[in-house]
Amino acid sequence: ANGDVVWARDGDIDSLDPHRATSTLSRQLWYQIYDSLLEFDDSGQTVPNLAKDWTVSDDGTEITFTLNEGIKCHDGSVFDANDVKWTADRAIFSDNPSLTKASWGPVTSVDKIDNLTVKFTLSEPFGAFVPFMADQFTSMLCDSNEGNDGFGVSSAIGTGPWKVESWTKGSQIVLSANKDYRNFGRPVDNPGPPLAERLIVRTM
C-alpha cells in the first residue's frame, strides 16, 4: 500500500456541501470529493469532464450536455442525468438554494433528455454559464445524498477521486481513494484512482 498523504492547512472547511459555503478552504476540499461537468485545462480553457461534450443553441439560451458513460458515484450507483438534474434543481430552484445561485445565471429549467443528456434552458444568453460549469461551486452531487440528514456535515457522495470517511470538525477530514475513479478532464497525467490509500486533511 502507498499509505497516507497528510495535507496540513491553517483552517477547516465550512461544509462538505458545495451549496452551503464559499470559502477557499471548502472549495479546495470539494475538488477532492466531486467533479464538475466541465474542467479547466492548464491554460484556463474550458474542456470536457463529466460531460464529454456540450452544445449551445444559436440564440445562446439552451446548453445541452452529453455525459460520459460508466461514471460511478462513491456509493456504487451510476452517475447520470438524474444526478445532474438533482444537483442543479437543488442549487437553483429549492427553498434553500446555493449561496452561489446567481452565478448559474437566468436558468429557467433543467431537463433530462435521456440518461446521458441534460439540457439547461436560460431566459437570456449568459456568457459566464459554460465556464461556471467547471467551477467547484457547480460540483455534481449524486442524488443518493437526498434525504440524508448527514449530507454536508458527516457525509458526502460525489464522483471525485476521494471518498469521505469522516470529518472531525476543527481537527481533520479523512478521505479514502475512490478505486472506481476515472479522470476525464483534470489537468493531471493520472487517468485513474489516487495512488495513495488515504488523504488526511489536518487543521493546524
pLDDT band, very low/low/confident/very high, at 2 (cuts 50, 70, 90): confident
Residue range 158-168: average pLDDT? Answer: 98
The predicted pLDDT at position 86 comes to 98
Residue range 105-115: average pLDDT? Answer: 98
The three cell numbers of residue 101 are 445561485
Cα separation, 196 vs 204, in Å, equals: 22
The distance from CA 128 to its chain's CA centroid, rounded to whole angstroms, is 18
135-155 pLDDT, tens per residue? Answer: 999 999 999 999 999 999 999
Residue range 108-120: average pLDDT? Answer: 98
40-82 pLDDT, tens per residue? Answer: 999 999 999 999 999 999 999 999 999 999 999 999 999 999 9
105 dihedral zone (left: phi>0; alpha: psi -120 to 50; beta): left
Is pLDDT at 162 greater than 80 in this prediction?
yes
Burial 66-84 (b: 16+ CB within 10 A, else e): bbbeebbbbeeeebbbebb
Share of the chain above pLDDT 70, in %: 100
Average pLDDT over the chain, rounded to an integer: 97
pLDDT band, very low/low/confident/very high, at 180 (cuts 50, 70, 90): very high
pTM: 0.97
pLDDT band, very low/low/confident/very high, at 1 (cuts 50, 70, 90): low
